[in-house]
Amino acid sequence: MSEKVVVITGASGGIGAATAELLASQGHPVSLVARRQEALEEVAARCHDRAQVVVADVTDRPSVRRAAHQAIEKWGRVDVWINNAGQGITRLPSQLTDDDIDAMMRANVKSVLYGMQEILPHFQSRNDGQIINISSLLGRIPFAVFRSAYCGAKHFVDALTTMFRSEVQEKYPGIQVTLVSPGVVRTEFGKNALHGGPDSRELPGSQSAEEVAAVIARVIASRLPDVYTNPGAQARIGAYYATVGVDP
C-alpha cells in the first residue's frame, strides 16, 4: 500500500492509539486527534516521528474543522479520515434522561457527522479519499440492554454512513465511506462509559485493540465499504434477524 496520510480521532488510547501505532510502523503519517494532550504525546512518541498531535474536542464542529486544516497544513493532504472517538453509557432504556440521549448523540453521532462533513471538501477537490467510521456490533444487534442509548447512537451511525456514501459517490466515485464494526474490545471503553459499568477488558469473546487496528489497516488497503472485525459476526447478525417474525 502506498503512503497514506491518516487522521484518527479518539487517538489517545484504545483502538485509536493502536491504529496510529500500526499505521506509523507501516510508514504512514498520522494526525492524532483527541482532548488529552499528554496521552496523545505518549502515543505520538511510539509513532516513529510520523505523528502530529492535534488537541481538539470532536463534539465541537469548529474544533473538528481546525483539526482538518492542521492536518492538511502539516502533511499537504489527507487521504484517510478515521472517526473513532466515541463513548458508551450504562443505563437501562426505561431510565434514560434527556441528558443521557444528548450525550450519546454528541459523542457518537455528531462527532462522526462533523468529521465527514469537514473533510469532505478536501476529498471532493481530488475525487479521492476514504472516511472510516468506527461503529459497533451493537449498531447491528441491540443485545446489550444496559447500553441502550449507545446502541441507538451506533444504529444512527450505521445509517448515516450508508446514506453519506450513497450521496457522495453519485458525483465523486473516488471517495469511499467505510463502516467498521468491532464487537467487545479490550480497552477502557467500559470504564469510561457514562454512569460507569462493566470493564470491557473482563467481558467474554473480546478482541484486542491491536486486532481491530489490523483490520482497519487492511480496510485502508482494500477500501471495502462495510467490515466486521470479529469472525462470526455476520452469521450472528443473520441469526438474530432470522428470528424476527413477519405478520402474514
Question: Catalytic amino acids?
Answer: 150
Q: How far apart are CA 235 and CA 87, in angstroms?
A: 26
Strand order across the beta sheet in which 30-34 lies = 51-55, 30-34, 6-9, 80-83, 129-134, 175-181, 226-228
| Cα atoms in the Cβ-side hemisphere of radius 13 Å centred on 206 | 17
C-alpha distances in Å from residue 228, one per residue of 22, 65, 171: 19, 29, 27
109 with 83: CB under 8 angstroms? no
Sign of the torsion formed by the C-alpha atoms of 230, 29, 26 and 35:
negative
Which amino acid is located at 102 in the chain? D
Residue 218 CA, chain-centre distance (Å), reads 15
Q: How far apart are CA 223 and CA 7, in angstroms?
A: 16
Q: How far apart are CA 117 and CA 132, in angstroms?
A: 13
Give the CA-trace dihedral at 156, 161, 164, 165, to 10 degrees: -150
Q: How far apart are CA 233 and CA 64, in angstroms?
A: 32
Any idea which residue has 510502523 for its cell?
25
